[in-house]
Structure 1
Amino acid sequence: MAKQGKRLKAIYAGLDRDKQYALAEAIATLKSAAKAKFDETIEISMNLGIDPRHADQMVRGVVGLPNGTGKTVRVGVFARGPKAEEALAAGADVVGADDLAAAVQEGNINFDRCIATPDMMGLVGRLGKILGPRGLMPNPRLGTVTMDVKGAVQAAKAGQVEFRAEKAGIVHAGIGKVSFSDDQLVENARAFIEAIQRAKPTGAKGSYVKKVAVSSSMGPGLKVDLASLAAQA
């Protein structure tokens, strides 16, 4: 097991690691404990009662965080003609077709989110082995294969977060920065939690949300009381 540094030991010394915190209390505690020299990200993790190896138990989707993520998102768009112009006007960072595909094949991936118009998917599909493992493959279910290029680019820039359950049934995401107000972080966390609850798959049996925790980039993880979530929802 990795050794804890003096800074982290000092943080943990003032915390009850077995306590289950109400969401607002957990976030306030993380903010007060954040001492890094950069604006740390506040993250939420949810352990779900699913087995993602089964198609009917996969949890995947997108959610727009009401207060954004605090992170600058670079958006790449595969489009031609008027839709390419629409993407640029909406604020896309990289727009192209064959030229963009060639850049991706050469390893020049200068975007964090990828959007494509439906007519581009024949071209984009050939990049699946590159984009797929990076979680960048456009998907109509996630709203990233669309003719509404303007809306998709603006949503990505405004703080839309994509989530997907890992093998252990865990979903996680950054929900803002330490510099956000407590209320902004709580609001973002609730939006994420509600999105996960709405995405409950038909194949999920028994308890769906098993555990919830919040943490900061350089700080501790705190357990969130599930009963308090229900009470405050």
Structure 2
Amino acid sequence: MANVTKKRKAITEKVDADKLYSFDEALALLREFKAAKMDETLEVAMNLGIDPRHADQQVRGMLSLPSGSGKDVKVAVFARGDNADKATAAGADKVGAEDLMEDMQAGNLDYDRVIATPDMMGVVGRLGKVLGPKGLMPNPKLGTVTPNVEQAVKDAKGGQIEYRAEKMGIIHSGIGKMSFTDQALKDNFEALTGAVIKAKPSGSKGKYVKKVSLTSTMGPGLKIDMSEAEGA
């Protein structure tokens, strides 16, 4: 155990809290912190120059990561008839209507994504106070209210993620597993940061991307140099 502690201390001493690392440098350093018994997640935090309390300064969207997320996403779908069958065939973990609503009202909310067909929103609307606080309320702007539930389920299961600025204007998102190749993780990082920069709201004034940091589940947070990112 002492050897592990010494090794970790030696790696920690390499971290410069003030340095702006390139993505490649940061990833290489985080790989040295790799835990032996778990496939850690690589996570990005973006501090934005916005105030999400204002309607014209909100940043939120869906993104299909080019290399996938590596996460097992649990999906619930509100649909009837043929659409329900398609959602089930596409791999949805739970499909239903009023029965699914009642199940969620009882506290069964272990889902990462909730999708609904437009005709089911009368039922889903009763779950606003349940799904809203968890960020699970289906939304047509995010593609989670759609007649094509089959594709929506496949997208969710295939590595599509939602990014959303929290109250302090910070976006937190996992972009893959540390078992991914360097290039796969870099592709995902560039896809996320590019999407967020492109989504700059009209109400954002001054510097938009204030700080970007990269970390792994067991690793330190490292500041990333975004000076070359267009619009940052």
Corresponding residue of 2:158 = 158
Count residues with an aligned counterpart: 227
Shift of 1:152: 0.5
Shift of 1:6: 7.7
Q: Matched residue of 1:127: which SS?
A: helix
Shift of 1:35: 2.6
Q: 5 Å matches for 1:43-192? A: 43-192=43-192
Q: Which moved more, 1:87-96 or 1:32-41?
A: 32-41
Shift of 1:40: 0.7
Shift of 1:11: 3.5
Corresponding residue of 2:18 = 18
Q: Return the letter of the residue paired with 1:57.
A: Q
Q: Return the letter of the residue paired with 1:120.
A: M
Structure 1 runs not aligned, ≥5 long: none
Shift of 1:229: 3.9
- Say if 1:34 and 1:218, in contact at 8 Å, map to a contact too: yes
Cα deviations by residue, 1:150-193 (Å, 9 ceiling, x for unpaired):
11001100111111111111111000011111101000000001
Q: Which moved more, 1:106-115 or 1:77-86?
A: 106-115
Shift of 1:33: 2.1
- Say if 1:23 and 1:229, in contact at 8 Å, map to a contact too: no
Using structure 2 for the length normalisation, give the TM-score. Answer: 0.93
> CA, structure 1 residues 7+71, in 2 after alignment: closer, same or farther (shift >3 Å)?
farther
1:202 and 2:202 correspond: yes
**Mapped partners of 1:80, 1:127: distance in 2:** 18
**Mapped partners of 1:116, 1:173: distance in 2:** 24
Shift of 1:18: 1.5
Q: CA RMSD in A?
A: 1.7
Structure 2 runs not aligned, ≥5 long: none
Shift of 1:9: 4.5
Q: 5 Å matches for 1:28-47? A: 28-47=28-47
Shift of 1:7: 7.7
> CA, structure 1 residues 172+7, in 2 after alignment: closer, same or farther (shift >3 Å)?
farther
**Mapped partners of 2:208, 2:6: distance in 1:** 37
Using structure 1 for the length normalisation, give the TM-score. Answer: 0.93
